[in-house]
Structure 1
Amino acid sequence: MRDAVAAERLGIPAIGVMTTQFVSAAELMCRVLGMPDYKFGVIEHPISSADDAALAAQARSTIEDAANLLLRPQI
């Protein structure tokens, strides 16, 4: 999250991706870094035991989420 927020502050579009197990930690980090409304992608946890098909499905979903986050209207 730190790298994504730092990039965004420099005007570089970035996407943070976190597993479901660590969403609350990512949200806390966003608040600590002063960007409490920062949106990020979320993938299933754990990924280490996922087979190739599951990883491919998560990748497709994450790409769609990332595109939506990058192309969202700026507030």
Structure 2
Amino acid sequence: MAKLYSPEFLKAWTVGLNLVFSTFIGLAIGYGLDKLFKVTFPWLTIIFLILGIVSGFRDLLRLARKQNDGTDKKDI
């Protein structure tokens, strides 16, 4: 049976999903904490949204470095 998707496509799809999901998870946690503590200004939503975005980009860079290390070893 032939492969439906190339490994590169699946890695790119994973990176995109990680970035989106980590952002939304941070947003949801912050929103939930703001509602739990009845905060008037959404400080926790903003803080956790930023943490989610940073976490997504950190994971993106980690996967890019991992991919780069794997290609360097194959070239030698």
TM-score range, shorter chain: 0.3 to 0.5
Q: Which has the higher strand share?
A: 1
TM-score in terms of structure 2 length: 0.40
